[in-house]
Structure 1
Amino acid sequence: MELPDELVSAGATGYRIRYLSTSAKGGPTEVTGVVLLPPGTAPPGGWPVVSWAHGTTGISDRCTPSRDTELGGYGYAGYLAGLVRRGFVVAATDYEGLGTPGAHPYLIAESQGRSVVDAVRAAGDLDRRVSGVWLAVGHSQGGHAAMAAGEIASHYGRGLDFRGTVALAPITDNRPYVDRLARLKPIDHGYFMAILAGLATWQPKLRYADYLGSRALKEFPRVHTTCIEELTNRLVKLNLPGAEFAPNSTGAAERLRKWLGANAVPRMRSRAPLFVAQGLADYLVPAEQTKLAVRKAKALGTDAKMVGYPNVGHYEITEASAPDVLRWIEARVR
């Protein structure tokens, strides 16, 4: 595939791939993505793999990173170029339902985790110079996906050699927002719509009318036809009242809390270590919420650590933490 300038400068060779994974419902499903190979000769045993999990682009097929010349935006192309320069193969999943038939199970932990694991297998199938040694690295939605992948690696990833997870400003647990939905700002309305659409792929009992007012319901189909930036701009312009995004009953709120909780991470112990990088000026993923997730991971028995970056926001965390992340993942593959 044609690559952006940052990856060309890094000497990467890129391939669009289509591979087999397991859906949110447990059946076989096709997933697309990108594999980036480093230049030069592979080391003995092959190149190690970073399975990259991207942040929220949207749930429409228009938002598929492998179809985007910038691989999803947010400076990801340059970030992945840094990994390629260090001799890592990058296997970058699009996730189930992005660029393939069916809806995207946005923030459904099992689906996203499986897509991340199976991208590593696909990279090995593509080129035999790729080793089975791998790490999961992801940002925002991808931090959620990477953590989910790390937790299932010991059983779903059998045959591969998993070394650790890096989560950059991960979305971990959306339950705290249930009681604040009526006060959501317009900039958050599109994300809530995407969350509902993702839950509906996994939980058929979800009724959109339980969580969206008539004006919000009228806008909801746009979640399947636009990307997150366009959708957000539309909803900011409309400035719908928060009441349009509030559960219509206590029972509806409790069901939503239960469904979100079932997909919160961490859910179980990861046998490999976890490194979490969090901007302390992040307005989308609050640092306190990330700290709670890291404490829970430790309580579950995962070797977890978090590094906070002062004055760093949600979209700056990839670049700000890159030197620390590169040192950490290189130490895992030595």
Structure 2
Amino acid sequence: MRKTRGTVSGSAAYSPRRRRIRSAVAVLAASVTAAGLVTVGATSTADAAGNFYNPPSTFDSDPGSIIRSQSSPLLLQIPGVKNQWPGTATRIMYTSTRQDDKPVAVTGTVVEPTAKWNGKGERPTVVLGPGTIGQGDQCAGSKMMSFPLSIDPLKPSLGVNYSALEMNLLLINGVRVVMTDYIGMGTPGIHTYVNRLESGRAMLDAARAGLKFAKAPKDAPVGFSGYSQGGGAAASAAELASDYASDLNVKGTYAGAPPADLSKVINRIDGTFIAGAIGYAINGLDARYPELAPILKRETNAHGRQALKQVATQCIADTGLAFGFQRTKDWTRSGKSLGEVVKGIPKAQKMIDDQRIGKLKPNAPVLLSSGFNDDVIPHGQVAQLYRDWNKQGADVKLTNNYTPPIFPGLTLNHVLPMLDKLVPSTNFLLTQFDS
């Protein structure tokens, strides 16, 4: 495998398709089977009550098995009409594996593109990991495919599916897309936000499920892509693939602004508009590490405990409005930030260290991206991930965005690099599929 030592500038071209994709962006801007199932068929619909997200009492435990499926029209599509642009979407429930190796039902969406695949070989599949959209079940991306907003005036709650831009770029190039909701998002249980094993496995099993649903060959090319939380999920999938999913023919991964080292990320976002997202991570850890509960009881005050409870049912916009620019020192009894508390408790620090990405070697090329002035995901820990993988001989590149600081803490320096890398990241994946 070729070892890449340098970095790639943000303006670098990865494919001769660049011009084609740029024009597609303009158009987008203008247009705004599993065998062995115990109780459900290969593509059964939801139960009689219409509760698609409630798993059956028994289901096939093999990772990547399809538990059930349901039609899911995309934006501006007419239900029941075939071959609509940009593709045909189906909501799926599939089997994945928790951190403790127990099977778990996960939901997501498979989108079969209307456009033909004009590259080499079989049509490729890209699994998209959404960025931070929240921890409440209403935030699941598969619930926002027909309309990119989810508004619940009774909670109140506002969800946004902003992965549609990347999804459509891939679809118009004939790439099949599978978008995972991650473990615990929409389905019962807490969403285990930025859990390294569970997010990576959810991505890998989404690829398996997507191939099965499309009746594609098992060795059809697969890629992973995501930004922020999704970048971490994609990066985790890339390095877990060799061991957990050696059956997949992984061709490449794009991981934008991955939170590879949570100890660095927690300190960075504390006091920003999305400071409450720290609560997502704590809640996710609490769901998998029983030893964390007494620590939280001892260290958090009443306001902190209420904040953790509240964010567990929110989307990111709700969390920003409720806890934006707060400091987690106001959540603790000691007056120390949660980052400081974790650092002083070995058991808690180990839980954070367990989520560290970069200890395993990806089995296919990876493109990393980072904003040099990112006010959410520190550039330094992305650069460290690059060095960690590079030392292991991985084929990895790092491309940076140098947007100067704009109202630090509002997350603009996190969002703008994401938009900047939409085209280069898509070109990178297309190039891997064509190689």
Q: TM-score, normalised by structure 2?
A: 0.70
Rounded Cα–Cα distance in structure 1 between residues aligned with 2:383 and 2:271: 24
CA contact (8 A) 1:190 1:235 kept: yes
Question: Letter of the aligned partner of 1:324 in structure 2?
Answer: P
Q: How many residues align?
A: 330
Partner of 2:281: 195
Q: Deviations over 1:7-56 (max 9, x none)?
A: x9852111111111111221111100011111145568531011110111
Who is 1:324 aligned against? 424
Q: Distance in 1 between matches of 2:341 and 2:199?
A: 30
Which stretch of structure 1 is more off in the superposition, 257-266 or 70-79?
A: 70-79
- What's 1:97 paired with? 184
Counterpart in the other structure of 1:307: 399
Matched, 1:163 2:251: yes
TM-fit CA distance, 1:112: 0.7
Deviation at 1:311, TM superposition (A): 0.9
Q: CA deviation at 1:134?
A: 0.5
1:1-334 paired onto structure 2 within 5 Å: 1-5=72-76, 10-41=85-116, 45-68=121-144, 69-70=147-148, 73=160, 75-129=162-216, 132-176=220-264, 180=267, 184-185=270-271, 187-207=273-293, 208-236=296-324, 239=326, 242-245=329-332, 246-247=337-338, 253-311=345-403, 313-334=413-434
Sequence identity percentage: 25
1:188 offset after TM fit, Å? 4.4
Mean Cα deviation higher: 74-83 or 143-152: 74-83
Q: Which runs of 5+ in 1 are unaligned?
A: none
Q: Give the distance between the partners of 2:106 and 2:281, measured in 1 at CA.
A: 20
Cα distance in 2 between the residues matched to 1:111 and 1:187: 26
Alpha-carbon RMSD across the aligned residues, in angstroms, is 2.6
Identify which range, 311-320 or 254-263, moves more after superposition.
311-320
DSSP 3-state at the match of 2:276: helix
Amino acid at match of 1:19: Y
Amino acid corresponding to residue 86 of structure 1 in structure 2: N
TM-aligned CA deviation for residue 250 of structure 1: 7.6
Distance 1:161 1:210 in 2: 47
Offset, 1:318: 3.1
> Separation in 2 of the partners of 1:234 and 1:67?
23
Gaps of 5+ in 2: 1-71, 78-82, 150-158, 405-412
- Larger of the two Rg values belongs to structure: 2
Shift of 1:279: 2.1
What is the CA–CA distance in structure 2 between the aligned matches of 1:219 and 1:67, rounded to whole Å?
25
TM-score for the superposition, normalised by structure 1: 0.90
Amino acid at match of 1:265: I
